[in-house]
Amino acid sequence: MKKILCSVLLAGSLVSGVAASGPSFRPDVLFTGSSTKGWHSFGGATWAASEGTITGTPGSEAGGWLVVDDSYQDLSFFTEFRCDEGCETGILLRAEKTHDGGMKGVYVSLNDSTLDTSFVTVDAKGAIVKRDKLPRGGLLARVTPPPSPQSQNGNGARPQRPSIDLPLKAPDTSLRPHDWNSIEIFFDANTVRSFLNNGHQQGSVTEDGGYGPIALYVGGKGAAHFRGTAYLDMSLKVRDEERVGAGFRKQRLSNFYYSWGTAAADFNHDGVLDVLSGPYIYYGPDYRKSREIYYAISSNPTTEFATDATMEFATDVNGDGWPDVITVMFGGGPGVQLYINPKGEKRRWEKFAVGSGVQSEIAILNDIDHDGKPELVYSGDGHVRYAKPDASDPTSKWKVHDVSEAGYGASHGIGAGDINGDGLIDIVNPYGWWEQPAAGADSGKWKYHPSGFGQFGRGMMGGSVMAVYDVNGDGLNDIVTSLNAHGWGLAWYEQKRSPSGEITFTEHMVMNDRSTKNAGDVTFSELHGTGVADMDGDGIPDFVVGKRYFSHLDTNLDPDPRGAPVLYWYKTVRNRKAPGGAELVPHLIDTHSGVGSDVLAIDLNHDGAMDVVTSTRFGTFIYWNSAGHPAASSKK
C-alpha cells in the first residue's frame, strides 16, 4: 500500500463536500494535511501547509519547488491555486533528475489563460534555465501525432455564432489574477490536456516517455497557494463490479460497436416487435437472429466513431405499410439517410440521402404538425428546424422548415411537447422554447421564448432528448433534461404561470457533480442518452438516462471518461414537501452498458412493462422489465 502520510487515501471514492469544485476524477490522493510530509522541497522557496492549503514563498525570483515523493507517468492532477502579486507559478510533471543535480520535465504555466506548456530544464539551485515550448494538440486522440506547423494557432477553430443575446452564456473561465482558480491536468501517453476553471481544453504534445514526481512551483516576488490538491495514477485502470438492477434481466444482442441509436418496429410483419441497432435488425421474440440492412462494419471504440448511425428511427415513410429506417449523423457525416424496407426480401435495403447540414448530435421524431406522420426535429446550419418528406416522392430531399432564426441551434439537447397548453407541439432546446404558430407549423418562424436549460462545462453544454411532461401534477408541462451531454448535470424545470399568463421556469437540480448533494447519492457524467417512459405503470412518465462511455474516444476531453457506464431510470415522485412539489428518484438498471445518443423505452413483449434498449460502445442490449405494469412508450 502506498504511503499517503498527510494526505488522504480515497480508495476509489471521494469524500463528500471536499471543495466547491473539486476533481472530475476519483483521486488516489487528496491533500488535506497541515504538514508537507510526503513531499520534499527543492530550490529557493519555503513551503508550509495548513488544513489542506499549501503555501510556497519564493526566497529569490528564481524560486523553488515542492516535489511529491512518489513518481508517475500517466496521471490526473487537480488543484485550486491563488497567486499573490508578483508571483509566478506552475506544475511540473514527470520530473526526472538530471546528471548535474537538477530536474527536467513537462511544465504547465499557471500565470495566464493560455496555460503555456513547455519542456523545461531546472538547474541544481531550482531555477528554470531552459524552456522549450511544446506544440499544441490533443483533440480526439489519446496518442497525438506531431501537429503540422499550420495547426499551431490553438486547439482547433471553434465556430462563431451570430451576435445574438442567448439566455445561456458560456462563463468566463479565464485566469482570475490574485484570486482562486482551478486547474485540472491529464497527462496520458504523449498528450497533456489542461482545463482552467472548467473551461476549454488547452492541449500540448510531447514525447511519449518520462517518469517522475509532480512538483509545485513558486517564483517571482509573491507567494502561491494551493488547496484541494488531488492526483490519480491513470495507468492503473479500475473496473467497477457489474450489476443489473432489481426487476431487470439483461440480454446482449451484439458485442460490437456499430451505433449510438436504436429503434423498434415489426420490420418483417410477423406481428412481433423487432429491434434495430446500427446495421442490424434483431428479430423478435428471442432477438437471436439478425439481418443487416447496410454493410455491418464495426468501429474501434477507443479511436473511431460509428459514422452511419448516431441516431436511428423507424417509421413508414413511403406509406406502403412497412416500417422504414431513418439514420442521422451529424457534422461531416452522411447526414439524414432513408432505408426503404424491401417488404420481406432477403437483402440489404436501398438507401437514399434525404438530408444534410445536421448540426446537432441529438434528433427526435415527432408529429409536429399533427398530420399523422412524424417529422425529424434537429438543429442544422445554426437553426432549430424540422424536416419532412414529400408525400409524392419521399426518397428525394426532404423539405426543411426553420423554426428559429440563425444562431439558436445547439449541438446537444432537443425535445418537443405542448408547453403552453394550446394543443400544439412546441420545440425546446437548451436556449429556450419555440411556440408553434396557430396558423400552422410551416407558416413561418415560431415565437421564441428564451430560457436556459443547460449547464456549461469544458466549453460545452446541452443534454440529449429533452422530456416535456407534467412532473409535479399541477397541470402544466415541465421539462426534464440532462444539462451537459459531455459533462455533469440533470435537472427538471418547473413551469410557472404569472397572473397574466407569462411562462417562466424554475430549475430543480437532481444531480450535479461530486461536490454536490445528489438524489440517491448517485453521480455520473456524460449524460448523452436519455428517454422518457412510464417505467412502473403508475401513469406518470419517468426519465431514463445513462452515461456514454468514451464519448470522445479514449481521451480525457470529458470529465470521468472511465467512470462506470451506468444506466438508470428516475422515478417521478409527486411530493408536496419536495422543492417544486416533485422529486426524481434513481433506480439502477445496469452498471455496464451505459447509453448512446438516446434510450429506447418500449414494451417489446407486450407484457405491460416498459423494456429498455440501448446501443453503446459495449454492444447492444435489451433490459427486460419484469415489473409487469401497464406502460406507454415515447419513441417508436
Q: What is the largest CA-CA distance in the chain?
A: 82
CA dihedral 624, 629, 633, 636 (to 10 degrees): 50
SS (H, E, C) 382-410: CEEEEEECECCECCCCCEEEECCCCCCCC
Residues with pLDDT less than 70, the chain? 1-20, 147-162, 627-636
- Establish if 19 belongs to a structural domain: no
Q: Could you give the angle at the alpha carbon of 404 between the alpha carbons of 463 and 161, nearest 5°?
A: 70
- Establish if 161 belongs to a structural domain: no
Q: Is the dihedral of CA 383, 389, 390, 391 positive or negative?
A: negative
Quickly count: other Cβ atoms within 10 Å of residue 359's Cβ: 18
Return the pLDDT at 574.
99
Count how many residues are written for the chain: 636
**Structural domain tally of the chain?**
2
- Establish if 218 belongs to a structural domain: yes
**CATH assignment of the domain containing 110:** 2.60.120.560
Distance CA 96, CA 28 (A): 22
- Establish if 299 belongs to a structural domain: yes
Distance CA 447, CA 278 (A): 36
Return the pLDDT at 138.
86
Does residue 307 share a domain with residue 221?
no
Does residue 296 share a domain with residue 197?
no
Return the pLDDT at 18.
30
Q: Is the dihedral of CA 342, 348, 353, 357 positive or negative?
A: positive
Distance CA 213, CA 105 (A): 9
Distance CA 250, CA 182 (A): 41
- Establish if 164 belongs to a structural domain: no
Does residue 282 share a domain with residue 198?
no
What are the backbone angles phi and psi of residue 328, rounded to the nearest 5°?
-130, 130
Side-chain-side CA neighbours of residue 204 (13 Å): 22
**What domain range includes position 194?**
29-144+173-233
**CATH assignment of the domain containing 523:** 2.130.10.10
In this structure, what C-alpha cell is assigned to residue 265? 418496429
Does residue 117 share a domain with residue 208?
yes
Does residue 473 share a domain with residue 432?
yes
Contact predicate 612/624, CB 8 Å? no
Does residue 205 share a domain with residue 275?
no
Does residue 261 share a domain with residue 224?
no
- Establish if 309 belongs to a structural domain: yes
Does residue 257 share a domain with residue 228?
no
Does residue 388 share a domain with residue 291?
yes
- Establish if 412 belongs to a structural domain: yes
Integer-rounded Cα Rg, in Å, for the chain is 26
* Alpha-carbon separation of residue 56 from 27, 67, 221, 255 (angstroms): 23, 12, 11, 52
Does residue 202 share a domain with residue 256?
no
Cis peptide before 285 (omega within 30 of 0): yes
Distance CA 341, CA 329 (A): 20
- Establish if 433 belongs to a structural domain: yes
Return the pLDDT at 635.
60
Return the pLDDT at 1.
32
Does residue 260 share a domain with residue 336?
yes
Does residue 534 share a domain with residue 503?
yes
Distance CA 426, CA 368 (A): 8
Return the pLDDT at 241.
94
